[in-house]
Structures are given as C-alpha cells and as structure tokens.
Structure 1
Amino acid sequence: MLLDRSGQGKVYNLITRRRFLQMDVLEGLNVLVTISGKKNKLRVYYLSWLRNRILHNDPEVEKKQGWITVGELEGCVHYKVVKYERIKFLVIALKNSFMAFKSFTELQHRPQLVDLTVEEGQRLKVIYGSSVGFHVIDVDSGNPYDIYIPSHIQSQVTPHAIVVLPKTDGMEMLLCYEDEGVYVNTYGRITKDVVLQWGEMPTSVAYIHSNQIMGWGEKAIEIRSVETGHLDGVFMHKRAQRLKFLCERNDKVFFASVRSGGSSQVFFMTLNRNSMMNW
C-alpha cells in the first residue's frame, strides 16, 4: 500500500495490493519512481494521476493509465537517481545483471546496493555493495574492481549505504556496512583515519541533506556527521523495533516498521536546524 504523508500528515489510500520496496519523488518530471509488485519491477507513477486519486477533479487524468514499467525490468534489487548538471541518471541493480543504459553482466559479486559518481566532471563510475564488500565499475571500459573488502569480517557483509562526499569531485565516499563506516576514494585508498561506529547494528542507514547520516537500530535512531562520523543526536525507542528508511521530504524523514506477517506502520520525523528529532 502506498500512503501520502505530506502536508499535515493526513493518510490517503492511493494504491492497494502492491508491495513497494523503494520509491523516490521527482517533482520536476511529475513522476514517482518505484520498485514494486511481486516481481520487483521498476515502475514509474505519474504524480498528477496520484493527485487526482485524492481530489477526483480531472476526469481526463482519471481515464489514463497512471503508471508505466521501465524497460520491462524484473527482479530489481535497488536503484539510485543521480543528478549531474542537467542530466538525471537512473542506476539499477538487478538480481542477474546491472543497469539499463549500459549492462554489466557476469559480475563476480551480486549487487545489493548501487550508486553512481562522476569523477572530476568526466568519468562515470558505478559503485555497488555486495555480500563481500564494495566495488566499482568504470562505465567507459566496463572493468570492475574492488574498492573495500572488510578483511576483519569472515561471514557475509551487509552493505547499508554509499555516500559520495561533497566537495571531493566525486572521488571520495563513505561506505557503511554492518555497524561501521569507512572513508575511501574511488580507487580503494583509505582517505580518513576514522571509522564511523554505530552504537548498535542498524537495520537501515540513509544520507540526509543536512550532510548527516542516520542509522535505525532496534533500540535507538542515531544521527551522525557524514564528514567526521561524530554523533550529533540520538533518539531512544520506547520498545525494541526494526525500522526501515523510506524517504526524506523537506524537513521530514519517513520510515516504516518492519514486522513479520506483512503488516507495517509508517512514521515521520521532523528535523530542525539543530538536528534534534521530533516524531
């Protein structure tokens, strides 16, 4: 079920009987990009159609199909919308292949998390996380290589987030996995002698536009500086629960509870200028 929690936080039923794994609103293009449905297809919904589902004031819009599939792609794991100058790139990680604009098949490690960076305004590189660590693909040559494999972890790694750091010409990033984060460049060199350490193992990690990163643990939500990893704020739960990041809109961060049996509850948290949290 898709819920609209804008404005005063009133809830509207917009789409039923369809599971949503990921979503992003692109207002300038009048679309909502999603991974949704039983087959995890990449679907684009028109915002004008969704709006009319609430207001019912435009019969012509109501007659039109409100969504399209992108490239008939199935088995989508993760996508990232990356804006560079006037171009928007949509980078897609699939179960068995990678990207629609260019396809990189037969990768040694299956992608679970994906991003895109533009080095020095010239070189496109896909960054992705897998069960062993983090990797890069040079888009021009198609050559993949490892940039960070945590040698101190013997079991499978859970990648949480890839954050390309501002003011680094797209060449430095924070890679978050398990309960840690490391600073590396696109060639695999450690750039800061600092390890971001979460207070507990997060179930979800996300970058927010105040240049901070949030981690959702079962006991607390932590907010940290992207540049230093220092703790800026913490919000303790009343009871232990698993939470998953959904999206950030204006001064609000939206997330949902992860429960067995398919039921879930959506929350939003307001961030003020001092990064203190209210929900």
Structure 2
Amino acid sequence: RRFQQMDVLEGLNVLITISGKKNKLRLYYLSWLRNKILHNDPEVEKRQGWTSVGDLEGCVHYKVVRYEKIKFLVIALKNAVEVYAWAPKPYHKFMAFKSFRSLPQKPLSVDLTVEEGQRLKVIYGSLSGFHAIDVDSGTPYDLYLPTHIQGPVHPHAIIILPNKAGTEVLVCYEDEGVYIDTYGRITKDTVLQWGEMPTSVAYLQSNQVMGWGEKAIELRSANTGNLDGVFMHKKAQKLKFLCERNDKVFFASVQSGGSSQIYFMTLGQNSLFSW
C-alpha cells in the first residue's frame, strides 16, 4: 500500500494512516505489526491486523488532537471535514462526532482547537488561505486570506500556540507565517519570514518551528519568528517532515521515482543541530 500520512498512537496500540489507492483512513494494530516481524504470538496472528475509520475515502490530511482525556481525530476530505473521537473499550475505535460537508473551499490541511476549554473550532488551510468552522454551529468563516499573494496559496502548517487558551494561531504559507486569533484578528505585527520557500514546515515540542528549504533547514521561535538556528545542505534537495520523537526530528527527501532517503536530527541544548 502507498502511505500518504501516518502516526503512531502507542497508548491506543494503533498506527493511524492515510493509505491505499483510494486514500482511506486505516488503523493498524501495533501488536499485530510487531508480530509480523517477531512471529512470537499465535493469538495475535489470527486476528485481523487493521480496521478502517468509517467509510472515508479520498482523505487529504488528518490531525490527532488530545484534549484532557479525549482524543479527537479531525480529517480533511476533498470538500469536507470530519471530526471523530476515540471511544475506549469495549469499542476501542474512533467514532463519528461531527461532519461538515460542502465547504466553500477544499481543505488541504486541518487542525482542531479548544478555545478557553469550552468551544471547539476546526481550522483548515486551502488554496485561498485559512478558514475556521465553529463546531457547535457548523458555520464556516474565513480566518486569514493572504490577498497580497498572486495565484493559489500553499498552506504549510497550522500551529495552535501553547499557553494561549487555544485562541492564538500561527499560520504558515508560502515563505511566511502570520499570527492571528481564532476570529481572524492579527495578534502580532511581526511576520515570520523564511530565508527561502520551505517545502515543509513543522511545529516542535521545544516551541519552535522548523522549515525545510532546498538550501537549508531553518529553526525559528514559534512565539517571535526569530531565527534560532540554520543548517545548510550539502546539495539542494526537497525534504519533508515525518515526525518528532523525544529529542529527534525525522524527515525524508522527496525524490522522483518514489525512492527517498530518511534522515533524523537530534535537537540538543539551545537547539543546536547534530546529525
């Protein structure tokens, strides 16, 4: 199967993926995957190793959002956003919570925030910019449309800033990032400006934003946008963020023909890089 996106949720014993020709959302059980390698548990061998989330096809992007004891799964489809919530045993699966169909823009990336511990809002990026949906009312509205950019916008990342009661967001697109609140008001005069157009942008647990350009990898403060570090490539290449685990960031080279190289970096004290 071809995998577009995947995340390990160890506490739930699942690997969540967008995969296959129809871009379905599928959960693989970690115990089953481990047994495929070790072959030491006949009971696990007999069980089906995966299950689908709903009947969703054509998934574009998803995000797992933890709020208190609830795990939400928000999913971008071709012209819709679905929100699922994890139901523990005996169900042990994601169950449908909310559905938002026939959106005015096609969502390309998606996230979910809980404002002040009360209101759920979906935030999604499109070729026009960034938009939000009030989960209770189902009303979509525009958050930020970068009208100064000619042609379609490439949304890289939606970053819900910590310690802001879920109400402040850094939206990254093209070679910029803008600070807004969940009603679309600009909260900081500063614009995060990358040194070059990144192919991938990710938020790290250190409250920093990493951007992968063809010439260099940049590390910037999520709060100010200031440059914290830079790592030059030996040769120009496109890189894509995969995941962050402990103090390591994993990413892959994007190459034609399907072959790619996986790299990781260790983020040490003061966020200095080492390979």
Shorter chain as normaliser: what TM range? over 0.9
1:60 aligns to 2:43 (yes or no)? yes
| Cα drift, residue 218 of structure 1 | 0.6
| Number of the residue aligned with 2:18 | 35
Written as runs of structure 1 = structure 2, the 5 A alignment for 1:21-170 is: 21-100=4-83, 101-170=97-166
Counterpart pick for 2:199 among 197, 203, 207: 203
The CA distance in 1 between the partners of 2:31 and 2:66, in whole Å, is: 22
Letter aligned with residue 167 of structure 1? N
Aligned to 2:181: 185
- State the 1:96 CA deviation: 2.8
Which residue is 1:8 aligned to?
A: none
Quote how far apart the aligned CAs of 1:36 are.
Answer: 1.0
* Shift of residue 221, structure 1, vs aligned partner: 0.7
RMSD of the TM alignment (CA)?
0.9
> Which secondary structure state, in structure 1, belongs to the residue aligned with residue 56 of structure 2?
coil
The CA distance in 1 between the partners of 2:184 and 2:80, in whole Å, is 23
| Cα offsets for 1:110-160 (capped at 9, x unmatched) | 100100000111100000000010000000001111110011112100000
CA contact (8 A) 1:137 1:145 kept: yes
| Local SS of the residue matching 2:235 | coil
Q: Distance in 1 between matches of 2:147 and 2:273?
A: 35
Counterpart residue identity of residue 189, structure 2: D
Q: CA deviation at 1:63?
A: 2.1
Residue in 2 that maps onto 1:246: 242
Question: Which residue matches 2:213?
Answer: 217
The one-letter code of the counterpart of 1:99 is: E
Counterpart Cα distance in 1 of 2:128 and 2:159: 18
Normalising by structure 2, report the TM-score. 0.93
Residue segments in structure 2 that go unaligned for 5+ positions in a row = 84-96
Q: Partners of 1:264 and 1:192 in 2: how far apart?
A: 38
In 1, the alpha carbon distance for the partners of 2:115 and 2:160 equals: 11
Following superposition, the deviation at residue 21 of structure 1 comes to 0.9
Q: Percent identity, please.
A: 77
Structure 1: 5+ residue stretches without partners: 1-17
* 1:255 equivalent among 245, 251, 261: 251
Local SS of the residue matching 2:269: coil
Post-superposition shift, 1:177? Answer: 0.2
Which consecutive aligned stretches of 4+ in structure 1 deviate over 3 angstroms post-superposition?
A: none
8 Å CA contact 1:180–1:198 kept in 2: the answer is yes
What are the Cα deviations for residues 188-214 of structure 1, in whole angstroms up to 9, with x where unaligned? 110011100001100000001011110
Q: Is the 8 A contact 1:23 1:247 kept in 2?
A: no
Deviation of the 1:273 alpha carbon: 2.2
The residue identity in structure 2 corresponding to 1:93 is A
2-structure distance, mates of 1:85, 1:149: 32
Kindly tell me the number of residue pairs found equivalent between the two proteins. Answer: 262
